[in-house]
Amino acid sequence: MKRNGARKLKSHMVSFRVDEDYLARLDALVQQTSYSRAEVLRRCLAGAPLKSTVDAQALTEVARVHADLNRIGGLLKLAIREGVSDRSTSHRLNLELLDSVMDVRKAVNRLAGQR
C-alpha cells in the first residue's frame, strides 16, 4: 500500500484464526474484488475502497448490450420506414432484439446480486 507517494516494504507477517462466518465474509470480498485475502485486509485496515470487479464486468456487459440494442433499433426503424417485405429479415431482427433484452436482464440481475 502506498502512503505519501512512497511504497512501504511489507516486512511483518500477521497470522490469526477466524471462525467460518468471518472466513466466508472475507472470501466473498475476495471474490467480488479479485484481490487476495491479504490485499482485502490491507485495504480494510487502510480505509481504502474495495472496488468490485463484478460490478465493472456487469457494467461492461450492459454497455455492450446497449450498443446492440441501438443497432437493432436503428435497423427496425429503417425496416419500418422502408417497409420490409422480407418476413425472414423481420423475424431475425425480432429474435436479435429478444436475445439482447435477455442479455440486459441477466446483467441487471448480476448487478443486483441475484446471479
Going by pLDDT thresholds of 50, 70 and 90, the confidence category of residue 2 is: low
d(CA 68, CA 57) in angstroms, rounded, equals 17
SS3 13: coil
Q: Which residue has the higher pLDDT, 84 or 37?
A: 37
Which stretches of the chain are DSSP H helices? 20-33, 37-46, 53-82, 87-111
Going by pLDDT thresholds of 50, 70 and 90, the confidence category of residue 9 is: confident
Q: Where are the domains of the chain?
A: 11-46, 54-111
CA dihedral 73, 57, 108, 80 (to 10 degrees): 0
Going by pLDDT thresholds of 50, 70 and 90, the confidence category of residue 4 is: low
Mean local confidence (pLDDT), 98-112: 76
pLDDT of residue 115 exceeding 70, the answer is no
pTM tops 0.75: no
Per-residue pLDDT tens digits for 65-97: 778 888 877 877 777 777 766 777 777 777 887
